[in-house]
Chains A and B, each alone.
Chain A
Amino acid sequence: MAQNRSITGTVRDAEGGTPIGSATIRALVSERTTSSAVDGTFSIEVASNGDSLLVTYLGYEELVVSVGANESNVTIDLVSSSESLEEVVVTGFGMAQKKETLTGAVASIGADDISRSLAPTTSGALVGKMPGLNFRQTDGRPGSSTQLRIRNMGDPLYVIDGVQKDAGQFNNLDFNDIESISILKDASAAIYGVRAANGVVVVTTKRGKLNTKNTINLTANYGFQDLSRFPKPADAVTFVESFIQSETVQGVGDYRYDQEDLDKWRQGTEKGYVPFDWLDYIWQPSPQAYLSANVSGGSDKINYYFSLGHLNQQDVIVNYGGFQRTNVQMNINAKISDRFRVGASYNARHEFRRNPGVPGGDDHWLPRFGVYRNLPTIRPFANDNPDYPTLTSTDPGTNFGWLNYDLSGERTETWRVSQLNFDAEYDLIDGLKAKALVGYYFANQRMDNQEYTYKLYGYDEATDTYPVIFENTNPWRERRMGHVEELTSNVQLNYTKSFDNHNLSVIGGVETILRKDPTTWLHSIPTANALHLIDYETMDQYDDRGDNAQARIGYIGKINYDYEGKYLIELLGRYDGSWKFPPNDRWGFFPAASAGWRISEESFWKDNQIANIVNDLKIRGSFGLVGDDNTSGYAAFDYLSGYNYKQGGSVIDGVYVLGTQPRGLPVTTLSWLRAEMANVGFDAAFLRHRLTATVEFFQRKRTGLPAARYDVLLPNEVGFGLPNENLNSDKHRGFEVALRWADRAGDLNYSLGGNITYSRFYDWDRYKPRFSNSWDVYRNSIVKRYGYLNWGLQSDGQFQSWDEIAAWPIDNDRQGNRTLRPGDVKYKDLNGDGVINGLDERPIGYRQDSTPALNLGLNFAFAYKGFDLALDFSGGAMFTFYRENEMRTPFQNGGNIPQFYAEDAWRLSDIWDANSELIPGKYPMLLIGNGAHSNYWNSDFWKDNIRYIKLRNLDFGYSLPKHILEPLSITGVRVYFSGQNLLTFTNLIEIDPEMQDTNGLGYPTYKVLNFGINVSF
């Protein structure tokens, strides 16, 4: 055992010489750790016969200083980090590259930034943090994910630790186990060939480091979730008043509620007249908890990372279960000899979703619908006795009073997933390495659903009994069982050599993927609610979905060359085959090239003044071809003729005979889509690397979209159509900008970052488009236009008086204006024909059902002494929300209306008098059964072009000072408060702006308030 001695030192900023406090100093041999005081000084025990100090501090580059046997005082000058330029970026296929020599459009994010999120799934943790990523979370239920689109291009390919995966696998990693995520946004994705046309998300999980001490890290979070926004239904008085008013206007002689009723509702205390708040009854804040532990470290031969995490996210619907996930990650690497390294990794999880087994396909629909379908004048239980749920509307399923495990049953869904990877690396000769990776993936799913029979009750006051008024005799039991099995392999040769100032790296490899996902589903009708087993005698459906075998192979080649790190060139290509296509048309070649010039490395730059302002500047460009074998309208094996078994069928001779149908003409003319990706951009750093900027311009043109050659006029009467061919094209164009300012003012370290991504979709070439007239071209052509334009009438305010309607020259309702009232929507007669119809429609909005054309993120971080604060904002624009149904049609299906709608509609000053004075409002008067009125035609009155910004993450923490922890052998303790979706700024009233359901009743995203602690030893 070596002897230790104590030394002292000072940590300073290399540039200004100011002292740095709270820097971490670790002696590598003696394994002692300390931190510097406010004046930068420290003392530490080092090994007597020489040691090395590792000094780290946020915003500065790591430094290792050796301490000689005789030194007793060291001065350490830290250089402020140009971190983003020093980063190593994983570029796919197990390869990494320094960001400074990168020539493709690749963005990456590290562990610290990923983990700053309370989202249950990985996608939610990336929102607003990476340039080039469009996002929208249209559903917020427990365990839900955010839609991620690289530059709006469609479902990306996910690659986790070198293995091609899907969004589900990506989302349900524990994102605290992720070391980094890169997104390949341009032709650099070509390394993944025929599945890369929508970009690639590359994930690397955490690994231990050789020669580091063993670290244990514990994290615990606990918080409360609530709906971020949900349109509030009208209260009882507002509802009753609106209803009476509607009956007055519509001349209904017999009021459903008379003056006496109204008075009682206003009073709200008499039995039978006590209002009920369904929103409050169904939704309540609920907890979310997360626990994780990991250990990592390494000797000189072996490094490891083991982690175990558990997430429990309760539903905000009362007593509705939720989502639980347990994750395991184990990564081990061993140096067998100087030349031979092997590694193994195991990633497994258990995912569990549970909720009552309620009627309908989506068990989360009825609680949302019930808020509106049930009137505030109705209560869930007969005589308010909780043992007797009653009928609250004509739809028995809307009464939340019985949507619970006792009365309606249970639905559970479990995924058990494991991914096992082995890899090996062998140095053949100097610079030449062989690598191999084999992965085996097995995922098992089981869904069990049992919906009970149930009874609803009335109340007979005279006898004080509860007669059954409705009995459901439809028990429903279903089970889905299946598994996914994938075998992947990846073998490559890798040659790296530098001679003089030439740096060369060459890689060649082959990748294979084999997948099967056999699944079966069955249904039975249990004879009693208490029986949960499925018996043959009660089973009535069994559906075998088959193996769906898939196979793909790709051969890969990649060459990187640079001269002095100044002139950079990358060439890559992949020759890919997919089982989907006919044997003679299976293979495609996808090449890409990119180049960069680091101007700031040139001597003319370095020697110039400008180098002091612009510290770093790189210009780069890329172009390449990638593919997509997920061709719409083409299913695997469409090249085969013959017959399809299990298609249709009928009962003949008293037996149900499954049908077999002739297939259409074999499709031999259709292959994968081809995407030409072009990108130019620059990376720059200014003002001593405090300001960094990346700007990209891009275009993707996809050719080969399927269409039929309609000019080969094959009569329809022949009974088949010509198969589609690769004829049409479309485009995405856009830009993205990322800026970051990081600096230090005294003890305050801070960074301000922002990114914006704009990507617009265009339909491009169509196969010989034909139009009958110029209107037809205007209305229906999509050639070289923005895609998914949202057409509708243009509203022009509202009619203000009966006189205005009487004198109005345009037929606004196609009924001679006889249906109009003051407050009704006025439309622009854009073609001047005196009548409002489809010819007056114009583009009024953007796409409704996809990620926004524009997304942005703002990321702020501050650290002061032990305190740290981080804020992430995310926003979107250039997408459209269309209000329909409950948000537009008054009293939809006999249900309630939103409070804000009722309050701001035109109304009578005396609800009992149809001739009383009208009070103007923002919406037309609410009338029952009036949904077909011209007010509710498709127009910009109901279509909103959305803009929003959300405070997606707020993270405020305090790290206990070292001097307290050190005696306890604790490396670090951080306590923190974090929040999600705490603020939303948008032009959309009361509805979550990311929502897509036009009835406004989509499952909104959560607002979360959370406390946590992180301890490491």
Chain B
Amino acid sequence: MLAGGITCFSGCSDFLERQPDTIMTDDQIFGDAVMIRSVLANYYGRVSWGQHIGDDYSFTILDEAGKSDGGPDNIQGYGNDLWRVYDYTLIRNINQFLQGLRETTALSDEDKQVYEGEARFLRAWTYFNMARGLGGMPIVGDEVFEYEGGMDITTLQYPRSTEAGIYDYIIAECDAIAPMLSDETNTHSARANRWVALMLKARAAIYAGSLANYNNKMTSPITTPGGEVGIPADRAEGYYEQALSAAQEVIDLSPYELQLNKPDDLQRNFYEALSVKDNNTEVIWAQDRIYPGTGQQTAFTTRNIPGSHAEDIDRAYAGPILNLVEDYEYINDRNGDIHIRDAQGDYIFYDDPLDAFANKDARLGGTVILPNALFKGTPVPLQAGQKVWNSGSWRTVVGQPGEEGDDGLLITSDNGPTRSNDNYINKTGFFFRKFLDEAAGASTRGRNSEMWFPRFRFAEALLIAAEAAMELGQQPVAVGYINQVRARGGIQPLESVTLDDIIQERRVEFAFENHRYWDLKRFRRAHIVWNGVVNSPTAQQFALFPYLVVAPGTPNDGKYVFDRLVFSNSLHPRLFELRNYYNFIDLGWQNANPKIVLNPFQ
């Protein structure tokens, strides 16, 4: 009866001591190799920034895809903190980990070195992601800061490094850790090895080189007096040389290659090089996912699969836009515009909607599902409506998704495209192909997809090498590298390489891979391409709507024509302003650390 009370009287001090379920001490972590690995897994899970398939709307912000779900997106300009990375909590965590790691006895010296290399790689990657948004930022080294009331705060205040300084730091770190890491590949390229470190070095160096080069070619270069933003022009050459040598090391020595195991089907080949993990020889570092495993699968396929192939309620949240599709060249024609009308302005009639895309770069079909293209072996219909020949002119007829006319002919397909504000219906005329998982059940809410997201791959090494060689005046080298990539798309080789060729090649090769935004920034082209002009071919988003021709008694009856339309679900042209070249510094950071100077235009 009095048990409860007695419990308390005899041991009240213990009564309030309860055991937490998931909190562990430092000793428990660093005394156990399994827990050390668990900490590292946490850090690998925290380094996805910018565009990625976990955030499909991130592809609709630029000129790659449009939001198809529901009403219009209202995007006009870009936020001052778009894809801004400022993760000093992670940097501190990694430094805490390095401290513990260097003292642990639970690991062999060999393993410790690999862990240290990986942790420092993730730290360098974090700095890189910060630098490309913000410019130079404070470099805190291995410091794990402590604070006690009353201490001198100024010892904790680190100024921003220069923009050159932060890239130098990343490059130096990569140089230091590459030898610590393994030469071998690992399952689905999920862990950093020597080649991953070299790829980061090459990418950091090519970014720094192009920033030094093109920023200073602007009429008024974007700089701060202390060099936190703006790299001196004379440093460009050195960076290009570092980029070229790092990229060549990967090209020449690494176990990776430009994956080409289906030469007869280059579309399929390109899709597999990016979107099939097993036996992949292309991808050097990726965020991997598996099923099962608590909630880390991606809903990209679930959300974006065509309605005709959907396995669950969700579908068609976003789709590629015509701007991207037309940037893929024809095999023998570098102007990739889709042939919609002839010289007289009359429609061009196609027996099958897919015929309009014949002879395009094979990478288009590996990146985008075109109207009537196959997915999982069955065609993906995309039909906006009918064009009815009506006493000398065309009348457009559209219906509800799936609606047929009284004659039994399909008016609008279940997939769309439509110009409505309906949810779950395509509005651009195209679906994603790249990263769309073909596995059964991959588009269901209960399972989702194991699709990875590559961060470095072999083609990037080639294009970095081509770009660096081009900038260093080594045209034959540049041509050699870029044509390897073009050949895999089945398009004609180049005889010389210009910056525009590099930009074009990267655009089509790396669509949806988180390169486009950063490329146009470092080449200082973003404000020219996304100029905010209504109906600008590069800033306005466009859709391509296929129609069934209904003209009984004429030879064109039953064929298909296309209309090029302003994409109805994004009302405004994209506008990138000069202030967008660098994220704004949060005023709170400056308040807390007066040594932080602000970015230009701020």
Contact = CB atoms under 8 A, between A and B. Distances in A.
A400 B71 CA distance: 24
B15 A472 contact: no
- Chain B: interface residue count, which band? 35 or more
A291 interface: no
Given A523-B446, A660-B39, A719-B91, A541 B420 contact: no
A469 B414 contact: yes
Nearest to B4: A489
A658 B422 contact: no
Nearest to B34: A657
B26 interface: yes
Given A643-B24, A718-B92, A458 B402 contact: yes
A973 B1 CA distance: 42
Given A717-B138, A932-B74, A551 B296 contact: no
Given A473-B444, A474-B445, A654-B290, A253 B396 contact: yes
A374 to B, nearest CB: 12
Interface string B422-461: 1111000000000000001100111100000000000000
B24 A642 contact: yes
Contact of B8 (A422, A512, A550, A720): A512
A359 B22 contact: no
A481 interface: no
B187 A644 contact: no
Contact of B40 (A549, A578, A652, A928): A652
A718 B87 CA distance: 10
Interface stretch (A388-396, A775-783, A790-798): A388-396
A769 interface: no
Nearest to A635: B20
B557 to A, nearest CB: 19
B440 to A, nearest CB: 7
Contacts of B46: 648
Contact of A893 (B26, B71, B147): B71
Interface string A648-676: 11111111111111110100000000000
Interface in A788-820: none
Interface in A975-1012: none
A332 to B, nearest CB: 15
Contacts of B8: 489, 510, 512, 553
A658 B38 contact: yes
B19 interface: yes
A652 B191 contact: yes
Interface string A370-399: 000000000000000000000101111100
A647 interface: yes
Contacts of A424: 1
Contacts of B520: none
A318 interface: no
Contacts of A768: none
A651 B16 contact: no
B337 interface: no
A394 B157 CA distance: 55
A17 interface: no
Contacts of B187: 652-654
Contacts of B37: 652, 657
Given A474-B447, A662-B96, A719 B423 contact: no
Interface stretch (B225-233, B309-317, B354-362): B309-317
A652 B16 contact: no
B493 interface: no
B88 A472 contact: no
A396 B313 contact: yes
Interface stretch (B245-253, B465-473, B478-486, B584-592): B584-592
Interface string B383-409: 001000000000111111110000010
A640 B313 contact: no
Main secondary structure of the interface of B (DSSP, over half): loop
B568 A929 contact: yes
Interface in B1-49: 1-5, 7-9, 12, 15-26, 28-29, 35, 37-46
Given A438-B1, A717-B593, A254 B396 contact: yes
Interface string B60-85: 00000000001110100000000000
B447 A525 contact: yes
Contact of B26 (A643, A658, A891): A643
A187 to B, nearest CB: 25
Contacts of A642: 23-26, 28-29
A838 to B, nearest CB: 16
Contacts of A436: 1-2, 5
Given A525-B446, A653-B190, A660-B29, A717 B158 contact: yes
A286 B388 CA distance: 51
A804 B38 CA distance: 68
B116 to A, nearest CB: 16
Given A474-B445, A653-B191, A715-B592, A645 B22 contact: yes
A650 B420 contact: no
Interface in A656-699: 656-663, 665
- Chain A: interface residue count, which band? 35 or more
A422 B2 CA distance: 10
B22 A658 contact: no
A104 B25 CA distance: 48
A63 B587 CA distance: 77
Nearest to B294: A541
Interface in A510-555: 510, 512, 514, 523, 525, 539-541, 543, 545-553
A512 B4 contact: yes
Contacts of B24: 642-645, 660
Given A394-B401, A661-B39, A932-B571, A643 B408 contact: no
A583 B190 contact: no
A661 B96 CA distance: 10
B41 A649 contact: yes
A458 B401 CA distance: 12
Nearest to A586: B16
Contacts of A271: none
A642 B35 CA distance: 12
B407 to A, nearest CB: 11
Given A394-B423, A717-B158, A720-B92, A473 B7 contact: no
B147 A395 contact: no
Contacts of B89: 719-720
A719 B158 CA distance: 12
A653 B185 CA distance: 10
A552 B16 CA distance: 7
A893 B422 contact: yes
A394 B424 contact: yes
Contact of B45 (A396, A549, A650): A650
B509 to A, nearest CB: 26
A547 B397 CA distance: 62
Nearest to B149: A712
A584 B596 CA distance: 39
10 contacts: A254-B385, A641-B26, A643-B23, A643-B26, A645-B38, A654-B188, A715-B157, A893-B421, A929-B421, A932-B571
Interface of B: 1-5, 7-9, 12, 15-26, 28-29, 35, 37-46, 70-72, 74, 86, 88-93, 95-97, 137-138, 140, 145, 147, 153, 156-158, 186-188, 190-191, 287-296, 307, 310-313, 385, 395-402, 408, 414, 420-425, 440-441, 444-447, 568, 571, 588-589, 591-594, 596
Given A490-B5, A553-B16, A656-B293, 12 more contacts: A436-B2, A474-B441, A510-B5, A514-B15, A636-B20, A645-B35, A648-B45, A660-B38, A662-B93, A662-B96, A714-B592, A715-B153
Q: Which are the 8 A-B pairs with shortest beta-carbon distances?
A: A489-B4, A719-B92, A659-B42, A546-B21, A656-B293, A474-B444, A540-B292, A894-B422
Interface of A: 253-254, 256, 359, 391, 393-397, 422, 424, 436, 438, 458, 462, 469-476, 487-491, 510, 512, 514, 523, 525, 539-541, 543, 545-553, 577-579, 583, 586, 636-637, 640-663, 665, 710, 712-720, 722, 889, 891-894, 928-929, 931-932
